[in-house]
Amino acid sequence: MSSLNLDDFSDLIERPDSGVRREAEERRERLAVPPGALGRLDELGEWLSAAQSAVPVRPVDNVRVVLFAGDHGVAGLDVSARPARSAHVLVRAVLDGESPVAVLARRLGLPVRIIDAGLDCDPALLPEDVVRHRVRRGTGRIDIEDALTVDEAEQAVRLGMAIADEEADSGTDLVVLGDLSVGGTTAAATLIAALCGTDASVVTGRGGAAIDDLVWMRKCAAVRDALRRARPVLGDQLELLATVGGADLAAMTGFLLQCSVRRLPVILDGVVSAACALVGQRAAFRAPESWLAGQVSGEPAQAKALDRMALTPLLDHGVTVGEGTGALLALPFVQAAAALAAELPERTDSPDGVEGAGGVEGSESAGDAGSPGGADAAADGDPAGIAPNSAGNDATSMASGPSAGDSGE
């Protein structure tokens, strides 16, 4: 019998301070740029204030990409465009700086950390810092057997919690979360279908590496069979992860929940991180307030999960590669929101009652408010002008290693 009860997180995660949110909204009303002119950037600034419990928002400079890696036994059914037991190839591509997430992280000067929770490969193939956390080698085939034992699921959840504590204690401001897996989207679709009470065909997508119709039908059948095994254990999130999840998914769930406990904001990537977040929400309904959906991955299961958690993706650019890539692309937007919320001046009123140059009336004095070049143009901010943090660190040189995520299938 496990000593870990995920429902306990409901008491550990503090309710966001409504006073901080209200103070952030009041500060926004006082800024020179009119409310609403910055669109979603305003909302992100208030989200960061609540997550940080700080007004004005603190800079988001110390960011880390964290990728959980694992192989899934269900991939042996040829439900993925990638061969079974090949997730270590994705890990190696990140370590060598050749994957999209590694290229972007290097460009932004961000460290990438890879956590091997359940790769099915010889540990000697990868650096010790990557493989030292491994819970087990691969997982069971979830359509006919449990992915993990309950003890292994608990070990994986505790691993994720420990990684979250390490990141929070090291001063990380925000985490970009992704996965490196083969077969992971099949397990993720099963978890989401079980928790949303829907059928396999509704949640089965084509993965980061697109599959043809025949492979999709095999994948859908695997989700259907796994779903039959998942439904009887819906009342216990840990047992659910053991039955149809996997070591990487269990670790990500623990990571997300502990990040919420530590008030460490997380940007989610694709369907795998969304599935883990949904399991986390089932355990602690306030947990998603620390999470941001980075992008639309194109997976129907992701859309179901985000809708259930009331999370609206920041970007929709058709990026399906996974590996945390879409979430990383959302980061400059979040950093822009933080900078604008903290650094834009507040309105000042001159003696004659006309607002300063940053205000609405000041903008109108420079042009006709009713014309396209008038107040609206002067008020609009350009988040693209806020350059992302660039510390110059090479993702491939990090001690913990970089990683590649949601493209698992």
Q: Is 53:17 a contact under the CB 8 Å cutoff?
A: yes
pLDDT of res. 395: 40
pLDDT of res. 1: 56
The mean pLDDT of 92-100, rounded to a whole number, is 98
Residue predicted with more confidence, 355 or 188: 188
Tell me what percent of the residues of the chain surpass a pLDDT of 70: 85
Across 119-123, 124-128, 356-360, least confident range: 356-360
The mean pLDDT of 127-132, rounded to a whole number, is 97
Across 3-7, 72-76, 148-152, 190-194, least confident range: 3-7
Give burial (CB, 10 Å; 0-12/13-18/19+) of 404: buried
Chain segment 55-70, per-residue pLDDT in tens = 888 999 999 999 999 9
Residue 199 binned pLDDT confidence (cut-offs 50, 70, 90): very high
> What is the DSSP secondary structure assignment for residue 14, as one 8-state letter?
P
Chain segment 303-324, per-residue pLDDT in tens = 999 999 999 999 999 999 999 9
> What is the DSSP secondary structure assignment for residue 346, as one 8-state letter?
B
**Residue of 149, 172, 184 lying closest to 264 (CA atoms):** 172
Q: Which residues carry out catalysis?
A: 323
Across 102-111, 121-130, 214-223, 350-359, least confident range: 350-359
Q: How far is CA 346 from CA 34, 42, 298, 339, 361, in A?
A: 10, 14, 40, 14, 14
**pTM (2 decimals)?**
0.84
pLDDT at residue 352 greater than cutoff 60:
no
- The mean of the pLDDT values for the chain is 87
pLDDT of res. 349: 65
